[in-house]
């Protein structure tokens, strides 16, 4: 068995020269105790330091404490250092999922503190087959049907091609001590039902080569899923852009992909914001696909509790809906004001001989008598109108922004320089025609927009 495990480790490149330390995750049960024995045997050949890690779930009426003591004694027998984690007493609902999450949270902290290390677990082929069927019955997606990965992140599974029978035989031949977990016989636990009832029936009545066949299917699924992952990574790179608070999905590029990639892109956009492995149903995918393909600018689609997707001409923007900024800033002649984090606006008097008209939209000269010495700076509000320079009629500011193809978040960040209810200048974009300089202008004021605050 040792030779086949060594070959498996080498073939799958589970341990490299960069991995200075391997932690054997030892619960005290047969699988993990055999894992410790095997890793101890090959540690010199593969050139790593071996340590033990154990997590005490504090379950089974004190039996967990006995497991911890046993593993500590086992580590001492091998003369190996050990790290022990204990579940928080604040956690009262100890389901299988909660226990697993707490255990791996402790493992992850250990790996983070020792970047050149890996944690080896005792999962074997039988575990993989059980996991496959459990996820199949629960309607898992393709990545779930890969069952237990050989290597993921800082975790390796050297026994994944080894059967439970082989491990048990090895333990017997080498007189390896271990503790029996009575909960493994509890038929109320789904995995135990699968292990003791469902799979034995299938092996006997359907196919005695069931485990070999399922293992092959898992390998095939992994192979094809890796192909998908490569294609999806290419699609994500060209189609999705991220900022600190929003994710932008390119609508045109999205429509060039098949539904499998499209679905993945939607799930990625949402998961990027909420740090979860978000999955959408077939029905919701159709809703999202229709929204992305046909929604007019300004249309919205809600997701989760506070998420919103807003349609723009070129993108779907995922995130929380941008809030209207109701703040108003006072701007006096001869002074400047910083607006938000992005802009400063300066207001000054200028002599007629100093005026230089240019195409630079960051500077405007206006009629001082019409504008006044004290102005206000605010942001866009529903219903805003102004008279664009060179035009006779008033326009909705929202229509003006649409013509410029500004997205919703951008238009809410553009400062508006006003005289009470009248918009004088959409800073950096357009002056109101009513405040332009004419032959009759006697007093000249200059407005300057400085980006960067």
Q: Per-residue pLDDT tens for 110-163?
A: 999 988 999 999 999 999 999 999 999 988 888 899 999 999 999 999 999 999
Q: What is the 8-class DSSP label of residue 438?
A: -
Beginning with the edge strand found earlier in the chain, give each strand of the sheet holding 422-426 in spatial order: 329-332, 374-378, 416-419, 422-426, 430-431
**Is residue 453 over pLDDT 60?**
no
Cα separation, 6 vs 25, whole angstroms: 18
Sort strands 49-56 and 21-25 into parallel, antiparallel or unpaired: parallel
Report residue 323's pLDDT band, with 50, 70 and 90 as the boundaries: low
Average pLDDT, the chain: 91
Report residue 38's pLDDT band, with 50, 70 and 90 as the boundaries: very high
Please say whether the dihedral angle defined by the alpha carbons of residues 157, 158, 160 and 166, taken in this order, is positive or negative.
negative
Cα separation, 430 vs 359, whole angstroms: 11
Boundaries of every domain in the chain: 2-221, 253-319, 329-451
3-state helix, strand, coil in the chain (%, to 5): 40, 20, 35
pLDDT, average across residues 274-299: 88
Cα separation, 282 vs 452, whole angstroms: 45
Give me the pLDDT at residue 204, please.
Answer: 92
Dihedrals phi, psi of 118, to nearest 5 degrees = -135, 155
**Is residue 217 over pLDDT 60?**
yes
Give me the pLDDT at residue 305, please.
Answer: 67
pLDDT tens digits for 374-416? 999 999 888 899 999 988 889 999 889 888 877 777 788 889 9
Tokens matching residue 193:
């039902």
Give me the pLDDT at residue 391, please.
Answer: 87
Spelled out in words, what is the top-level CATH class assigned to the domain 329-451? alpha beta
First to last CA, the chain: 68
The number of residues making up the chain comes to: 453
Give me the pLDDT at residue 186, please.
Answer: 80
Cα separation, 235 vs 245, whole angstroms: 21
Report residue 322's pLDDT band, with 50, 70 and 90 as the boundaries: low
CA atoms within 13 A on the CB side of 222: 15
Assign 3-class secondary structure to 284-347: HHHHHHHHHHHCCCCCEEEECCCEEEEECCCEEEEECCCCCCCCCEEEECCEEEEECCCEEEEE
Tokens matching residue 63:
């039996």
pTM for the full model? Answer: 0.69
Give me the pLDDT at residue 306, please.
Answer: 67
pLDDT tens digits for 179-206? 987 777 788 888 889 999 999 999 999 9
- From the candidate CATH numbers 3.40.50.620, 3.40.50.720, 3.30.470.20, 3.20.20.70, the one assigned to the domain spanning 2-221: 3.40.50.620
- C-alpha closest to that of 263 among 243, 239, 227, 296: 239
**Is residue 360 over pLDDT 70?**
yes
User: Which of 7-16, 259-268, 313-322, 415-424 is least confident?
Assistant: 313-322
Give me the pLDDT at residue 402, please.
Answer: 80
CA atoms within 13 A on the CB side of 392: 0
pLDDT, average across residues 92-116: 88
Give me the pLDDT at residue 324, please.
Answer: 67
**C-alpha 221, offset from chain centre:** 24
Cα separation, 149 vs 115, whole angstroms: 20
Report residue 17's pLDDT band, with 50, 70 and 90 as the boundaries: confident
Report residue 319's pLDDT band, with 50, 70 and 90 as the boundaries: confident
Cα separation, 160 vs 4, whole angstroms: 11
């Amino acid at each position: 068995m040792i030779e086949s495990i060594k070959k498996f480790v080498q073939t799958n490149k589970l341990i490299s020269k960069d991995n200075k330390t391997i932690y054997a995750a030892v619960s005290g049960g047969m699988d993990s105790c055999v894992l410790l024995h095997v890793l101890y045997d090959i540690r010199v050949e593969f050139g790593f330091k071996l340590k033990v890690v154990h997590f005490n779930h504090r379950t089974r009426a004190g039996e967990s404490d006995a497991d911890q003591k046993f593993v500590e004694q086992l580590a001492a027998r091998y003369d190996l250092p050990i790290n022990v984690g204990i579940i928080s007493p604040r956690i009262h609902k100890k389901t299988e999922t909660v226990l697993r999450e707490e255990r791996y949270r402790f493992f992850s902290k250990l790996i983070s503190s020792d970047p050149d290390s890996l944690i080896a677990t005792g999962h074997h082929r039988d575990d993989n087959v059980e996991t496959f069927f459990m996820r199949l019955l629960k309607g898992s997606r393709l990545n779930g049907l890969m069952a237990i990965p050989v290597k993921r992140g800082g975790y390796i599974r050297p026994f994944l091609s080894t059967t439970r029978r082989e491990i048990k035989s090895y333990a017997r031949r080498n007189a390896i001590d271990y503790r029996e977990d009575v909960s493994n016989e509890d038929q109320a636990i789904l995995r135990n039902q699968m292990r003791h009832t469902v799979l034995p029936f299938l092996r006997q009545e359907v196919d005695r080569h069931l485990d070999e066949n399922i293992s092959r299917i898992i390998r095939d699924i992994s192979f094809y899923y890796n192909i998908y992952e490569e294609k999806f990574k290419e699609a994500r790179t060209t189609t999705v852009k991220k900022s600190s608070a929003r994710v932008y999905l390119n609508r045109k590029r999205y429509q060039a992909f098949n539904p499998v990639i499209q679905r993945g892109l939607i799930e990625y956009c949402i998961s990027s914001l909420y740090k979860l492995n978000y999955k959408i149903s077939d029905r919701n995918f159709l809703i999202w696909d229709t929204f992305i393909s046909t929604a007019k600018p300004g249309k919205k689609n809600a997701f989760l509790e506070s998420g919103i997707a807003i349609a723009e001409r070129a993108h779907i923007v995922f995130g929380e809906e941008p809030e209207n900024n109701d703040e108003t800033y006072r701007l006096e002649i001869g002074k400047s004001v910083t607006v938000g984090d992005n802009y400063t606006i300066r207001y000054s008097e200028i002599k007629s001989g100093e005026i230089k008209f240019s195409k630079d939209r960051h500077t405007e000269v206006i009629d001082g008598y019409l504008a006044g010495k004290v102005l206000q700076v605010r942001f866009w509000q529903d219903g805003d109108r102004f008279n664009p320079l060179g035009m006779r009629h008033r326009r909705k500011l929202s229509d003006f922004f649409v013509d410029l193809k500004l997205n919703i978040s951008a238009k809410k960040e553009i400062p508006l320089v006003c005289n009470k209810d009248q918009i004088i200048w959409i800073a950096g974009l357009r002056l109101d025609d009513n405040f332009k300089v004419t032959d009759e202008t006697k007093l000249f004021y200059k407005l300057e927009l400085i980006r960067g605050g």
